[in-house]
Structure 1
Amino acid sequence: MTRRELAHWARQPVAVVVGLAFPVMLLLMFTYLVGGGRGVAGDPTEYLVPGMLALTMAFGLESTMLAVTQDLGKGVIDRFRSLPMVPGAVLVGRSAADMLQSMAALAVMAGVGYAVGWRWHNGTAAALGAVGLLLLLRFAMLWVGIHLAMVAGRPELVQAVQILVWPVGFLSNVFASPASMPGWLGTVVEWNPMSATATAVRELFGNPGGATGSWAAEHAQLLAILWPVAIIAVFFPLAVGKFARLSR
């Protein structure tokens, strides 16, 4: 099932390139046009790039959602469910392919970030830990996307569902420090799962914008694990249960 999903990359290279280029475009736009890192002392690029890496892990789910809804609409998943295979192989294969694409996206984003001046300062082990937290967030968001795709059922509804991801992405500390926001808004932002990952990743990379004094910021690395695990604990069984009830 994973090979099937990867074969689509060769048949639809434009979609893959667009998926990789979109976060790069956002990074360059916020670095050179809009500006990022408001309210942060130090190099704003080193604040912005880790946040954009976290944002990339939350965005881009539309390709997964479209693939699932298209298979549903064409009856492909019904065909797979009639074959002698482990029932969860379809979903696991889809998620494995998505994680491989996410690794490629992280590599591209890190390369572009390095080109515009971003660096990590705490060594290889800490950097690998940061990558692990980013991929954990992606894995959690992936199961949210798979479940929502099966709830939507049709490709034309994916765009409406995808809009729900944008508030989560922008109501975070990706582009600005919560300290520069009104008090109530800063509190909401700091408890955003993406903010926890972004803050933890900044700490591990040795970039500015890590702990800011609040409990959520001081324990960002713990929350960067607990939030995705909680999301997986909720949406993984929901997705598997929804898949098992298809066509009944």
Structure 2
Amino acid sequence: MSTLAYDGTALLGRQLRRLRNNPGLLILTQTMPITMLLFFAYVLGSALAMPGAEYRSFLVPGLLVATAANGIMTGMFQAAQDTHRGVTDRLRSLPISRAAVPLGQAVADLVVTAAGTVPLLLVGLAMGWRVEGSVLGAVGAVGLLLLFRFATTWAGILLGLLTRSEEAAGQLGGATFVLPLLSNAYIPTDGMPGWLRTVAEWNPISAATTALRDLFGNAPVPDGAAWPVAHPVAGSLAWCAVLLAVCVPLAVRRYAHGER
């Protein structure tokens, strides 16, 4: 365990230096959620029946979770890039813990996400969004958000190690933008056709979004929803546990053994 902690810390530093040396990508990943918040709040929000302030309270938790779900894309692209360029093979030849490389990538992504969440929340506050629940609930919401990002990043790392191609990872990563659209992140699901509502409410993003809205005090849990949305905190934790239980061992094994 001490070896994993030491090696993981070293690889965490590598990932953070990698981001520091690519400031354009870092700026883009930090500003894109704010741009989307402004667009959805003032463009899409004007077409919905909800009043402006009410929709912004509905939107901010959804956009936070949608941004966290982008851990799939970032994790996949970075893992595929390292594999495609031979960096993974060079790291595999070193006497380090096999779990340290993906763990360092996942923790570095979590650090950057935590830092990027602050300006997004500040913009949301400036637009009229408020934490209407308890302080403890708000802290729990942020913790759940970071756990969800950590879990989706591991899913992305596994996919990146499987694709082994920057081009394939880029194209597959673009497809992940559909996931928040097929959820309750931007619009309520009660107006959807029955089968589509079921699909959307079993989307992990819907459970996490509903949990944040409930913990922040922005919106009540909807009636008649599927189990993950009807019990959003438990549903979100269950989805995170499934993603981590499946993706972490598979990603570590894939990293350790390469294509074998």
Scaled by the length of structure 2, the TM-score of the pair is 0.89
Q: Aligned AA for 1:62?
A: M
Deviates more, 1:205-214 or 1:129-138: 205-214
Cα distance in structure 2, aligned partners of 1:143 and 1:130: 20
Cα distance in structure 1, aligned partners of 2:201 and 2:164: 33
Cα distance in structure 2, aligned partners of 1:50 and 1:188: 20
The number of equivalent residue pairs is 248
Q: Following superposition of structure 1 onto structure 2, how do residues 155-194 of structure 1 map, counting pairs within 5 Å?
A: 155-194=166-205
Residue equivalent to 1:200: 211
TM-superposition CA deviations, 1:29-65 (whole Å, max 9, x none): 0001121794668711100100000100002543333
Q: Following superposition of structure 1 onto structure 2, how do residues 226-241 of structure 1 map, counting pairs within 5 Å?
A: 226-241=238-253
Q: Following superposition of structure 1 onto structure 2, how do residues 67-78 of structure 1 map, counting pairs within 5 Å?
A: 67-78=78-89
- Runs of 4 or more, structure 1, over 6 Å off, are none
Residue equivalent to 1:59: 70
1:243 aligns with 2:252: no
Cα distance in structure 2, aligned partners of 1:186 and 1:36: 23
Residue equivalent to 1:87: 98
Q: Aligned AA for 1:219?
A: H
Q: Is the 8 A contact 1:99 1:138 kept in 2?
A: yes
Cα distance in structure 1, aligned partners of 2:140 and 2:255: 33
CA pair 166-44 structure 1, distance change in 2 beyond 3 A: same
Cα distance in structure 1, aligned partners of 2:24 and 2:153: 21
Identity of aligned residues (%): 37
Deviates more, 1:68-77 or 1:218-227: 68-77
CA-CA distance at 1:66 after TM superposition: 2.6
Residue equivalent to 2:116: 105
Match of 2:146 among 135, 140, 146: 135
Cα distance in structure 2, aligned partners of 1:205 and 1:133: 12
Cα distance in structure 2, aligned partners of 1:238 and 1:40: 43
Match of 2:235 among 186, 199, 223: 223
> Where does the alignment leave 5 or more consecutive residues of structure 1 unmatched?
none
Cα distance in structure 1, aligned partners of 2:156 and 2:236: 19
CA pair 169-229 structure 1, distance change in 2 beyond 3 A: same
Residue equivalent to 2:39: 29
Q: Aligned AA for 1:206?
A: G
CA-CA distance at 1:164 after TM superposition: 3.6
Q: Is the 8 A contact 2:133 2:215 kept in 1?
A: yes
